[in-house]
Amino acid sequence: MKNQPKILTPLLMAVFAIAISSPLLFAETPQHKRPCKQDVETFCKDVKRGKGAIHKCLDEHQGQLSLECKEKRAERQAKFDAACGDDAAKLCAGIKHGEGLGKCLREHRDELSTQCRELKHKHHGKRKLTRACRDDVTKHCANIEPGEGRIHQCLMLHKADLSPKCSKRVAKLK
Residue 167 pLDDT? 87
Whether 106 and 120 share a structural domain: no
Task: Give yes or no for residue 69 having a pLDDT over 90.
Answer: yes
Of 112, 133, 162, which closes a domain? 112
- Of 64, 88, 112, the residue that ends a domain is 112
- Residue 6 located in a structural domain: no
More confident position, 104 or 3: 104
154 Cβ partners below 8 Å, 6+ apart?
137, 140, 141, 144
Residues 160-169 pLDDT 10s: 999 998 888 8
- Please name the residues in contact with 133: beta carbons below 8 A apart, sequence gap of 6 or more: 151, 155, 162, 163, 165, 166, 169, 170
Mean pLDDT of 133-154: 82
90 plus 120 within the same structural domain: no
Average pLDDT for residues 99-120, to the nearest whole number? 85
Q: Domain of 141?
A: 114-174
H or E element at residue 70: helix 67-91
Phi, psi of 158, rounded to the nearest 5 degrees: -110, 20
CB 54 within 8 A of CB 44: yes
127 and 100 in a single domain? The answer is: no
Torsion over CA of 159, 161, 163 and 164, rounded to 10 degrees?
Answer: 60
Which of 112, 132, 148 corresponds to the end of one domain? 112
> What value does the mean pLDDT take over residues 29-56?
80
| 129 in the same domain as 156 | yes
Q: Is residue 9 part of a domain?
A: no
Residue 15 lies in a domain: no
Nearest to 126 by CA among 109, 148, 104: 148
Over range 23-39, report the average pLDDT.
59
pTM: 0.55
